[in-house]
Amino acid sequence: MHKYRSMIVWQRSHDLVLCALKETDKAYHPRSRALFDQLRRAAISVECNLVEGYALGTPPLFRRHLRIAIGSAAETESLVRTAAEMGYLTQDRTNKMAALLDEILALLFTLIRRVSRTGPSTRT
């Protein structure tokens, strides 16, 4: 069951969760609370949907959860941009999360194509 941990996309998604939690804690401001809470939830959703879809074990369910993870990654990307534009995140923090999100989205799209052809893969 823990084979999902060997997937690069899971590793990067987990890195994103840790980064989002740490960076929003560092940059906390009372006015940023709702935005940061949603950013955290969206980042966590990327990782959790990947794991849940993998655990369900069928290609159609895995693809469905990968698509949800893509939506959550896009949501996270939008929230990071908003937080940066509001001055809640530094450019370094923004760049760090944006780079992770770019990689995660590319990996998720690749994985969806691979699962559509062959079923779940532990390599991406």
Residue pLDDT, tens place only, 70-117: 999 999 999 999 999 999 999 999 999 999 999 999 999 999 999 988
| Whole-angstrom distance, CA of residue 91 vs CA of residue 53 | 33
| Whole-angstrom distance, CA of residue 88 vs CA of residue 26 | 10
Tokens 């939008």 sit at which residue?
78
Q: In the predicted model, is pLDDT for residue 18 greater than 90?
A: yes
Closest CA to 16 of 120, 105, 111: 105
Q: Which CATH architecture has domain 2-117?
A: Up-down Bundle (1.20)
Better-scored residue on pLDDT, 119 or 80: 80
| Whole-angstrom distance, CA of residue 95 vs CA of residue 33 | 21
Reading the block at residue 114, the tokens are: 């691979």
- Tell me what pLDDT residue 47 has: 98
